[in-house]
């Protein structure tokens, strides 16, 4: 394997494990070390994921506008559409998980005729269940326990956030019922 191929594999590992933080075990570190021996340059891999100052600024604005709901959930909304809004909102939802005491994060952003929601958690909260409860039909919301999304159509941003609050409240109520 040549160095560019090793870097490509290391880039995949880096992205998949959120910079070797999530879902990383001993074999992840062993694979990364092996790829480094084969010539993978970690600085080059890091530069593959660099971004413009405009994107960094927008992502920072999304994160800084977040509000904490029920002491455990970070929610941020972007009301104006722009190129890359979905990706930046997904990335911001990932980063909001590193806010102290936040168990799940949500970003709301405009899509055609409605609103998209990106949801993330570190595992304590099943965001898939929350997102599935948001849509009118199965394909409007869902994903994975720690990474999910939903699309809501024909409503305002404030209504989308109200629906999200209701879905979180229902989720918390169902957990409380299950414990009793």
- pLDDT of residue 42 exceeding 70, the answer is yes
Q: Tell the residue number behind the tokens 């409605």, with chain if given.
A: 114
- pLDDT of residue 10 exceeding 50, the answer is yes
Cα(141)–Cα(40) distance, integer angstroms:
38
Q: Look at residue 108 in the predicted model and tell me its pLDDT.
A: 98
- pLDDT of residue 115 exceeding 80, the answer is yes
CATH number of this structure's domain 53-179, picked from the four choices 3.10.310.30, 3.30.70.120, 1.10.3210.10, 3.40.50.720? 3.10.310.30
- pLDDT of residue 177 exceeding 60, the answer is yes
- pLDDT of residue 158 exceeding 90, the answer is yes
Q: Tell the residue number behind the tokens 């957990």, with chain if given.
A: 175
**pLDDT band at residue 97 using 50, 70 and 90 as cut-offs:** very high
Question: What percent of the chain is modeled with pLDDT above 70?
Answer: 95
* Domain spans, the chain: 3-48, 53-179
Q: Look at residue 49 in the predicted model and tell me its pLDDT.
A: 79
What is the full DSSP assignment across the chain? --HHHHHHHHHHHHHHTTTTTSS--HHHHHHHHHHHHTT--HHHHHHHT---HHHHHHHHHHHHT-EEETTTEEEEE--S--TTHHHHHHHHHHHHTTSTT-SEEEEEEEETTEEEEEEEESSSS-HHHHHHTTSSSGGGEEEETTEEEEEEESS-HHHHHHHHHHHHHHHHHHHHHHH-
Paired with 119 in beta bridges are 106, 148
**pLDDT band at residue 138 using 50, 70 and 90 as cut-offs:** very low
Q: Is 62 in contact with 78 (CB distance < 8 Å)?
A: yes
* Mean per-residue pLDDT, 85-110: 96
How confident is the prediction for the chain on average, in pLDDT? 90
- pLDDT of residue 160 exceeding 50, the answer is yes
Token representation of residue 1? 């394997």
- pLDDT of residue 19 exceeding 80, the answer is no
């Amino acid at each position: 394997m040549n160095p560019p191929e090793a870097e490509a594999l290391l880039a995949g590992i880096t992205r998949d494990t959120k910079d070797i933080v999530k879902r990383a075990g001993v074999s992840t570190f062993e694979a990364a070390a092996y790829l480094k021996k084969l010539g993978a340059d970690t600085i080059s891999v890091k530069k593959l994921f660099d971004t413009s100052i405009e994107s960094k600024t927008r992502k920072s604005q999304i994160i800084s506008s977040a509000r904490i709901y029920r002491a455990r959930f970070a929610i941020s909304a972007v009301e104006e559409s722009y190129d890359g809004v979905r990706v930046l909102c997904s990335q911001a939802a990932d980063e909001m998980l590193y806010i102290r005491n936040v168990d799940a994060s949500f970003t709301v952003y405009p899509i055609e005729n409605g609103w998209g929601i990106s949801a993330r958690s570190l595992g304590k909260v099943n965001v898939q269940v929350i997102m599935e409860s948001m849509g009118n039909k199965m394909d409007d919301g869902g994903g994975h326990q720690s990474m999910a999304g939903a699309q809501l159509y024909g409503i305002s941003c404030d209504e989308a956030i109200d629906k999200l609050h209701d879905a979180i409240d229902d989720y918390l109520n169902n957990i409380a019922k299950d414990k009793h």
